[in-house]
Amino acid sequence: MEVIITREDQIGELVAEEIAALIARKPNAVLGLATGSSPLRIYDAVAARVASGEFSLAHASAFTLDEYVGLPDGHPCGYRTVIEEDFVSRVDLPTEAVQGPDGGSSDLDGACASYEEAIRKAGGVDLQILGIGTDGHIAFNEPGSSFASRTRPKTLTAQTRRDNARFFDGNIDAVPVHCLTQGLGTIMEARHVVLVATGEGKAEAVKHLVEGAVSAFWPGTILQHHPHVTVFVDDAAASKLQLADYYRHTYAHRHLVTR
């Protein structure tokens, strides 16, 4: 796991560079997209580079991580709508090349199985963007999620519903109780995982993610077992890391080492 502590406004550019390098060697790359506020600067930076002609996502495809269950089609908080507005509509990635789990299906288990199959058929995810919840969840894999889990229906914790109420005009009762989410086992198959966390509210989750014991209680800790993870954090999110100075030093001398 590589930990990069940098200014929040740098993170978007650094991840956009990773994406540009991926597209240069594989124009039909498969991206894993995350919703939430953490990836927004990445999407801004990628949109600017695509607009300037630096690279194109016309041959790429993408899978989203998760979706609420029970929101009507086109609901502004539905992750399909959010990802379309925050990212897809701003780049040349064709809308039909972006898939998400179908939280409106009458057969939720079947929808999850087809989603797994679609990811498999696409050859798996090349670069997965992730945020992290204050309780350490990744996608919607809440504390206690099995490390072997695949895409499935889950129940959201009260804390996640409270955190996400800000997208529902502050009304926690409007936040669905259930969701569909890629499992931890699914996410672990992405070839490169890029996790972004900023702000003091994420410091505890980041401490567990990077330096804590691997535990289903802090689901993101499974990433310690992944061979290629890059964690981008700002000073506030890094404030509880015991080896923060070491990560800064390593990053400053990155050009001298091979991973």
Ligand X SMILES: N[C@@H]1[C@@H](O)[C@H](O)[C@@H](COP(=O)(O)O)O[C@@H]1O
Catalytically active residues, by annotation: 66, 135, 137, 142
Residue 37 or 89 with smaller CB distance to ligand X: 37
Q: Give the torsion sign (CA, 50, 54, 58, 60).
A: negative
Instruction: Note the residues at the interface with ligand X (CB under 6 A).
Output: 34-38, 65-66, 131-133, 139-140, 160, 164
- Residue 111: how many CB atoms within 10 A of its CB? 19
Min. distance of Cβ 97 from ligand X in angstroms? 20
The rounded distance, in Å, linking the Cα atoms of 126 and 135 is: 26
Min. distance of Cβ 139 from ligand X in angstroms? 5
Sheet of strand 152-155, all strands in order from the earlier edge strand to the far edge: 66-68, 178-181, 152-155
Residue 59 half-sphere exposure toward CB, CA atoms < 13 A? 9
The rounded distance, in Å, linking the Cα atoms of 127 and 229 is: 10
Residue 36 or 55 with smaller CB distance to ligand X: 36
Min. distance of Cβ 256 from ligand X in angstroms? 33
Residue 65 or 193 with smaller CB distance to ligand X: 65
Residue 38 or 61 with smaller CB distance to ligand X: 38
Read off the tokens for 34. Answer: 């995350």
Min. distance of Cβ 254 from ligand X in angstroms? 25
